[in-house]
Amino acid sequence: MSTMTLLEFLNARLDEDTDQARYAASMADGAEWRAEYHEVVRREAGGDRKNRQVAEGTAFGGADVARHIARHDPARVLREVRAKRRLARFALAQAAAVDAEYGCRHGADEIAAGECPDHRPEVDAGLRALAAVYADHPDYREEWAL
């Protein structure tokens, strides 16, 4: 049975997204992913090397699926992970600011560690919204749902 906190859960999912996107990016060798008809190809930045196929969407919906895959290429996933980590830090900093003004003066790290009785990450709407992206993961808890 998992005893993960919401923040541990969120960080574990973001770490997984990062690892997989970095692996995919290493396969793409820094090239941009583009949809071309039913295929996703890697395109060298400014180069004239022949495009190489990354994925093929025909079996799952053709060009629409290829565009979806290309739109969520590793570079974008890594940007989204960075944005989600910033939003999580922002939520904790906001909670700390409120706690400093009206509460028991816990810092963001203490709030993240669950040490503040008034500002628990499990009830923070912003952190719960970020965790809800991964609601299909077996460790996700229904009580975190918005």
104 sits near Zn ion (criterion: CB under 5 A)? yes
Q: Which is nearer to Zn ion, 113 or 132 (CB)?
A: 113
106 sits near Zn ion (criterion: CB under 5 A)? yes
Q: Which is nearer to Zn ion, 73 or 99 (CB)?
A: 99
Q: Which residue has the tokens 């692996």?
A: 23
112 sits near Zn ion (criterion: CB under 5 A)? no
Q: Which is nearer to Zn ion, 89 or 105 (CB)?
A: 105
Q: Which is nearer to Zn ion, 60 or 90 (CB)?
A: 90
124 sits near Zn ion (criterion: CB under 5 A)? no
What is the distance between the alpha carbons of residues 58 and 14, in angstroms, rounded to a whole number? 30
**Residue selected from 5, 77, 103, 141 as contacting Zn ion according to rule CB under 5 A:** 103
- Using CB under 5 A, which of the segments 38-46, 56-64, 94-102, 123-131 binds Zn ion? 94-102
- Specify whether the CB–CB gap between 89 and 7 falls below 8 A: no
99 sits near Zn ion (criterion: CB under 5 A)? yes
- How many residues sit close enough to Zn ion to count as binding (CB under 5 A)? 5
Q: Interface with Zn ion by CB under 5 A: which residues? A: 99, 103-104, 106, 116
